Amino acid sequence: MDEQACPRCKTTKYRNPSLKLMVNVCGHTLCESCVDLLFLKGSGSCPQCNVPLRRNNFRVQLFDDPMVEKEVDIRRRILRDYNKKEDDFETLREFNDYLEEIETIIYNLCNNIEIIETNKKIEQYKKENRETIMRNKAKIGREEYELEEMLEIEKQQEEARRLELLAIEEENKKKKIREKEALIDELARSYEDASKIVSAFAEQAEKQREESKVVPAPKAATQFSTGIKFSRGGEQLFLPVPKQDEGPLYVHQILELFNEGPAAPPAQDIETKGYISHVRAENLAERAGGYKATMACQRALQEALQGLFHGG
């Protein structure tokens, strides 16, 4: 890979390890010093393509290839206005055409193809879909706010758990120190056998540890394990589970197949009349999982006969 260098002053990363390359909307790079020199008079143009530039449009280059930087900037700018979702279209085909149109616009702007026509097309789209664009921007803003709120709640819960564990660990350390000091005092004051005193303290410590292992009754669950609450601001996130007296939660019904053509042979005929003579038999692992070659053959026959119709 070629050494990164400023195209204006020819400074490289090897000669200046602190070199910071910056890129603008045209996709060409300049080092930070050249950008400052370029805008000493308040305005400037790109030394490579002479496109008028603005100082506030320069940003630090993140990728080695400046064309990638240009595409990322253009894609971010286009997707701010072309922000429709699949729900905004009646069919999937219309949504796919919309996505293809976006990619065509981005490709044209990245490769300087029909720039004027493409920009006119973007302005026309913004004018015709102004309300939809604003509504989707507000929706995205709400979703980002809710996501940030969830992450903040999760962070707070994680911090609370961390502090609780630290407090428990600190209390256990203090307790061990108190037990050790009590044992030393008892050995110093008592005239009994030291081994008996040590055994008594050990039994008492073991008993206390067993008692501390008793798990308290769990509290009513009001949030997920990640710290996200079930509801926020009085708004319920999930539908209530139906009660048992309202009927069974799920009733299985056998799927009824509608076939316009001849009916496929039953599984018994497939096995006995040679339909699977040229089909690989299932092995033990496949059979344990519920698969049989008869099933695959019957499904293939159903799909083959689906498009056939009885003659009049």
| In the predicted structure, residue 235 carries a pLDDT above the cut 50 | no
Burial (CB < 10 A; 0-12, 13-18, 19+), residue 82, is buried
pLDDT tens string 290-307: 888 888 888 888 777 776
pLDDT tens string 5-46: 777 787 777 777 777 777 776 767 778 788 877 777 666 777
Tokens of 289: 């999982």
User: Which of the four pLDDT bands, split at 50, 70 and 90, describes residue 3?
Assistant: low
Q: Distance between CA 307 and CA 6 in Å, rounded? A: 66
| In the predicted structure, residue 263 carries a pLDDT above the cut 80 | no
- Residues ≥6 apart with Cβ < 8 Å to 108: 114, 115, 118
**In this predicted structure, what is the pLDDT of residue 236?**
47
Q: Which residues pair with 223 in a beta bridge?
A: 229
Higher-pLDDT residue of 16 and 94 is 94
